[in-house]
A and B are shown apart, each in its own frame.
Chain A
Amino acid sequence: MKVRVFVSLKPGVLDPQGRAVHHALEGLGFKGVEDVRVGRMIEMDVADGTSDDALRQMCEKLLANMVIENYRIEKLETA
């Protein structure tokens, strides 16, 4: 089973990288970009039947730093 974990900064946590990317987009002439936040996507191949609880634990024990980050798990159909 393919699983994607999206890790993003919690709302309210300042994202200097997002701000720099925002400025760069404006510098390229793109209009109407209101805000940019930079996150991380982790793709994993896990055994079918891996429990949601195990996936959550992977996120909370390693993939995300719960002090500053949130995560979202997306399960993809087995190819």
Chain B
Amino acid sequence: MAFRAAVVTFPGSNCDRDLAVALEKVSGTAAIRVWHGDAELPEKLDFIGLPGGFSYGDYLRCGAMAARSPIVRAVVEAANKGVPVLGVCNGFQVLTESGLLPGALMRNAQLTFVCRTVPLTVENSQSLFTAGYEQGETIRLPVAHHDGNYFADEATLDRLEGEGRVAFRYGEEVNGSQRRIAGVLNAAGNVLGMMPHPERAIEPELGGVDGRALFESAVKALVAA
């Protein structure tokens, strides 16, 4: 069965092609490219990717404009129906701004853009995105962001931890994130937002392959379903 994935491109997205290539490499099927001005998503999607970049020039707040675009309204609807949605970097910011994920991503605590490969621990290996990892495994993925400082109030953080919704945690100080949270799942487990870039770590030539299992997990979850 072909894996029907869509990748949304906003004005200012710059990781959309990387995400589409990663999905195709792993699933064997080309991802459908969707433009931000489209009001509707293609039918019967198995996966939606919101890429990194600087959608709408980061005007107002990172992800704020994209989160109010017609296509993201369609993404929210699809997510609420259970379609897996992965938001990477700016895509994570769009997911928090749209309300699909709790919290907010603020300016890095050290105020500088951080661009390097960082260690992450897999905090939940049960989700459809992370089943290909071992619980507690340390992986290495690149980060490249100015606003990745995850913030939520204490009660929300406690709830996320208690419900196993922290998917990834930084293994070192990166950006000032509360409890070093790097990736968060929604309550149903079909929406994942993360600042690190799995799509930039799918081939040895890219400097690492630790991101590959994330896409493989999603493809496997569909085949099993």
Contacts and interface: CB of A to CB of B under 8 A. Distances in A.
A65 B108 contact: no
A13 B105 CA distance: 12
Interface residues of A, number: 11
A18 to B, nearest CB: 10
B173 to A, nearest CB: 14
B108 to A, nearest CB: 7
Nearest to A20: B111
Q: Interface residue tally of chain B, by bracket? A: 10 to 19
Interface stretch (B60-68, B130-138, B157-165): B60-68
A16 B76 CA distance: 31
A13 B151 contact: yes
Contact of A68 (B60, B68, B106, B111): B106
A9 to B, nearest CB: 9
Nearest to B61: A65
Nearest to A40: B60
Contacts of B152: 67
Contacts of B106: 13-14, 16, 68
A63 B65 CA distance: 10
A47 interface: no
B39 to A, nearest CB: 19
A16 B109 CA distance: 6
Contacts of A20: 111
B103 A62 contact: no
Contacts of B104: 65, 67-68
Contacts of A61: 68
B36 interface: no
B171 interface: no
Interface in A17-64: 17, 20, 61-63
Given A14-B176, A16-B176, A67-B152, A62 B109 contact: no
A2 to B, nearest CB: 19
15 contacts: A13-B106, A13-B151, A14-B109, A16-B107, A16-B108, A16-B111, A16-B149, A20-B111, A63-B60, A65-B64, A65-B104, A67-B103, A67-B151, A67-B152, A68-B104
Interface of B: 60-61, 64, 68, 96-97, 102-104, 106-111, 149, 151-152, 176
